[in-house]
Every structure is written in C-alpha cells, then in structure tokens.
Structure 1
Amino acid sequence: MRRLLAGDTVDEDHVVTVRAARLYTRPTASPPLFAAAMTPQTAREVASWADGLITVNAPRDALRQILDAFRDGGGEGKPVHLQVHLSWAETDEEVRAQAMDQWRLNALPPALTEELELPEQFDAATEHVPSEALESSVLMSADPGRHAEVLASYAELGIERVYLHQVGRDQERFLDVFGDRVLPQLR
C-alpha cells in the first residue's frame, strides 16, 4: 500500500498476486495504514509496519494479550482502535433475542467460520448455540450505564478509539439512547 500511495506500479507474488497495480488518483497525504488483528501472533507480525492496530472486543485477558503482542512487536506508542459488538434494547430479553438472531455466528471459532460459505451453512452451524456463548464477544445489556462502564474501561488498556457495532435492527433508537445516555459519560 505504501508503494501504491507513493505512486509506484506494484507487482507482488505473495498471498495475493498483484500485477501492474497502480493508483491513478492518489490522496495528497497518505492515510495511516492500520492493520487488523484478532490474535496475538498477527498483532505481533503487523506491529513493525502498521501505523496502528484495529481489533475487536474479546474477553479482557485475550484482548490484553493482543495489545501486548502488538506493543512488544514494535507497536508501542502507535494508536489502537477497537470495534465493540454490542446488543442494546429496552429489556434484557430483547437484548439476548436480537444478539442470537443477528450475531450468533460470533460464537463460532474463527477456524470454523473460515470454512463456511453459504448462509445455510452458518445457520446449521449456529442452530444450537446458547446465548451464553455470545457473552464473551458481544456486550449485552439493556442498561445504558453498563455499556458506558464497559466502554470507558477500554481507555485503561490504552485504546484510543472505540467503534460501536449495535447488532440489533433498531438503529435509530440505539443512536438516540446512546447519544443521550452513553456517549456523554465517555467524553
């Protein structure tokens, strides 16, 4: 990417084969190149070249391992961003129901999801997933205060930005409630 942003024509033959790639319109200033990592190994591998890291919420110990690997691998002082999958609704029953309806595939191990291709395969693989299996990967609560508390705690880990992914369908109500009751607590 850096070579493309610099105006070079690029040929590569690695994991992805690229022939005569070129950006015909380039930005006046190169954007920072963030790497995505969901494992400590990947975080360590990308730390030397990435301008920052983006990852997804995970159990606190697993998240700490990813962040430590990135920093130990050369990412110390570089920004870290986090995407948080969350489920908010008016009741805890609705919270769990929408998480199960919209995001239960998040309970599957990554190695399995890499092998699934069709929606029917995902449906079959997640048919018997209990809602408790989502608790480590989806922040689930009907209490906006609980969401604010958990989101604020990510700053203690040195996370600079948090991107919220509401898995429920009522995005307008989510934006209203979080805009009024959660985000003001995080500023």
Structure 2
Amino acid sequence: MRLGYFLSCEEYTPAQLVEQAVLAEQAGFECLWISDHFHPWNDEQGQSPFVWSVIGALSQATTLPVTTAVTCPTVRINPVVIAQAAATSAVMLEGRFTLGVGSGEALNEHVLGDAWPSVDVRLEMLEEAIGLMRELWQGDFVNHRGRHYTADTARIYTLPDEPPPVFVSGFGPKATDLAARIGDGYITTSPDRDLLDRFRKESGGKPTQGGVKVAWAPTEDEGAELAHRIWGNSGLPGELAQVLPSPRHFEQAAALVTRDQVRGSVSCGSEVDRHVDALGEYVDAGFDDLYVANMGPHYAQMIEAFGAEVLPALRERAGA
C-alpha cells in the first residue's frame, strides 16, 4: 500500500497546497491527490484555485505522483480541453500523473448555466468523455460526433510517452460498475467493502485508491470544532453533495450536522493512536493507495506527526 497526502483545493491557497506537497514528500508520503473545484463547499473553506495551474507548480516542487481526485470532464470543461490539460500534466510530471475523473457535482458544474443532468445521463456523458480523451491521446487528428460531444479535426501535440491512466470515482453501484468496465482503476472516499468487492470482481482486480480527512489539532475539542465549522458538509447524507448548486445551500444543509456527529465520524486531535485506528479501516479494506487530508490550519504539524508515527504504524498494519 502507498500512503499519500490529499491536497484540498477547497480550503487552501495555491502556495499552501504547494507547501503541503513539499512537506509531505519530506515526511515520507509517497503520492498526492488533489481535488478539482470551481467553488468550495462553503465559505468557511474559502478557496478554489484552478487545479491545472497548481499541478504545474507541483511538477516543479516535488517528485511525487499526482492524481486528480477528481476532475469532472463533462460539463464545466469539455473533455477535449481536459484531454489536453491531462496530457500536459503527464508530460510535466514525467509520467507520474493519473487522471481521476467522476460524474461531478452541481456545485461546480452548473456555473455556465447548463442544466444538471440525472445520474444516468451524467454517467453516460462520462463514458463518452473518457473514450474521446483516450482517442485524442493517440496523437492523431480526431473527428468525433457523439451523443454529447463533438470534436472537429482536433489533435493534441504535447503528449506523454504513455497516455495517463484514467481512474474513475464511484460512490454507488452504477458508478462502480462503470469504473470496473472502463476505468484503469477506482477512486472512493469510503471503505465500503461491498463496493470495493464489487469493483474488484467486475474489474478483474484493477487498482483502488481511497481518501479520508482528519482534523489534526492540539486537542480533540479543537479538532472537532475545526471539522464541524470548515467541513460540516462532509456529514451530509445521500445525493446532496451531487445536487446542491451553491456553497450557501451546503451551509444551510450542514446546519443540521452537529459537532457530536462530526466528532463521531472524523479523527480529531493529536493522539496518534486515534488516527491510526481511524485509518486502519481503510488499510484493512486493502486499498492500493490511501490518501489523507487535513482539515484546518495545523497541516504542518499533522504532516510531521504522520510522517514520524502514523505512516509507519499504517505500513506495519498493511504488512501484517
């Protein structure tokens, strides 16, 4: 199992994201996830830099592999453009780039005024987009007229030696089945054994990546307060994360999430054993990669402590 650091574009400035990546590499993290948002989930998070600019900076600041977790190549940005962005990222990272994709959230994708499709249509769009991007990465001129996208004599000239792998996000059976059928790997933020087993069976054992957030702070109470104030949206159930269109709506919905609920679902504070136990569920599920993000301002202390104590304990658990 590789243990990576999860860069949250919703919460940190571009300079802070690059700083975290450098610190993570120094501490012994082996790879990076980076989120792709137009809006943060709420105003307390307060950031949302353009992910492709940040990836360019990461390519010059670290030697770690980078995966987008995840990009939506269907509505806000056309897959032809995402194909070019991913190819350039793979070149700059010298092949250490994976394009993680998903069907997206209205929060980010509605900003150009397009209608937000149903989940079945979004998955159909995602499948067509992936096929079109892979065709473009072959290096020839592409003419495509599909149900959702058109490409007119489009050719990408700056290409890596090998096309970037495409990992597909899945939080339900339909998306998981799509990931197994057309993805090079699977991305999720839940250690759901049923979905993991479903993907492994249907894909023939393709690689899996999981992500989780913790709230490192001097005390458990401060960590719970940070997690509740900044990331209360993570406690929302069902499909709300996919259909609410504005940070204001997430703030209204998250008002129903209590601090005790967050404390029960997020590893908070500075006790190493607490974090090891919380992440152990992901280790035991058998992910190939596990990425950990921090909530709040204490990311430097979190990265240092994880490098010194948490990562070795997780590696020992994975080996056992």
Please classify the TM superposition score into its range, dividing by the shorter chain length: 0.7 to 0.9
**Aligned-residue offset at 1:81:** 0.7
Residue 199 of structure 2 corresponds to residue 67 of structure 1: no
Amino acid at match of 1:181: E
In structure 2, C-alpha distance between the alignment counterparts of 1:80 and 1:108, rounded to whole Å: 24
Correspondence for 1:99:
227
Decide whether the 8 Å contact of 1:85 with 1:137 is kept in 2.
Answer: no
Residue 301 of structure 2 corresponds to residue 173 of structure 1: yes
Paired residues, number: 181
Residue 242 of structure 2 corresponds to residue 114 of structure 1: yes
Structure 1 gaps of 5+ residues are none
Q: 2:168 aligns with which of 35, 52, 62?
A: 35
Correspondence for 1:2:
134
Structure 2 gaps of 5+ residues are 1-132, 316-320
Decide whether the 8 Å contact of 1:37 with 1:43 is kept in 2.
Answer: yes
Alignment of 1:124-139 (within 5 A): 124-134=252-262, 138-139=266-267
In structure 2, C-alpha distance between the alignment counterparts of 1:166 and 1:76, rounded to whole Å: 33
Seen in structure 2, the aligned counterparts of structure 1 residues 76 and 150 have a Cα distance that, compared at 3 Å, is: farther
Correspondence for 2:206:
78
Alignment TM-score, normalising by the size of structure 1: 0.84
Residue 183 of structure 2 corresponds to residue 50 of structure 1: yes
In structure 2, C-alpha distance between the alignment counterparts of 1:170 and 1:13, rounded to whole Å: 47
In structure 1, C-alpha distance between the alignment counterparts of 2:276 and 2:294, rounded to whole Å: 14
Decide whether the 8 Å contact of 2:167 with 2:187 is kept in 1.
Answer: yes
In structure 2, C-alpha distance between the alignment counterparts of 1:134 and 1:2, rounded to whole Å: 40
Q: 1:19 aligns with which of 129, 133, 151?
A: 151
In structure 2, C-alpha distance between the alignment counterparts of 1:42 and 1:140, rounded to whole Å: 31
For the residue of structure 1 that corresponds to 2:296, the secondary structure is coil
Decide whether the 8 Å contact of 2:215 with 2:224 is kept in 1.
Answer: yes
In structure 1, C-alpha distance between the alignment counterparts of 2:173 and 2:237, rounded to whole Å: 16
Amino acid at match of 1:29: E
In structure 2, C-alpha distance between the alignment counterparts of 1:166 and 1:97, rounded to whole Å: 13
Alignment TM-score, normalising by the size of structure 2: 0.51
Q: Which moved more, 1:19-28 or 1:129-138?
A: 129-138
Amino acid at match of 2:188: T
Seen in structure 2, the aligned counterparts of structure 1 residues 136 and 159 have a Cα distance that, compared at 3 Å, is: farther
For the residue of structure 1 that corresponds to 2:257, the secondary structure is coil
Amino acid at match of 2:157: Y
**Aligned-residue offset at 1:54:** 1.1
Seen in structure 2, the aligned counterparts of structure 1 residues 124 and 77 have a Cα distance that, compared at 3 Å, is: same
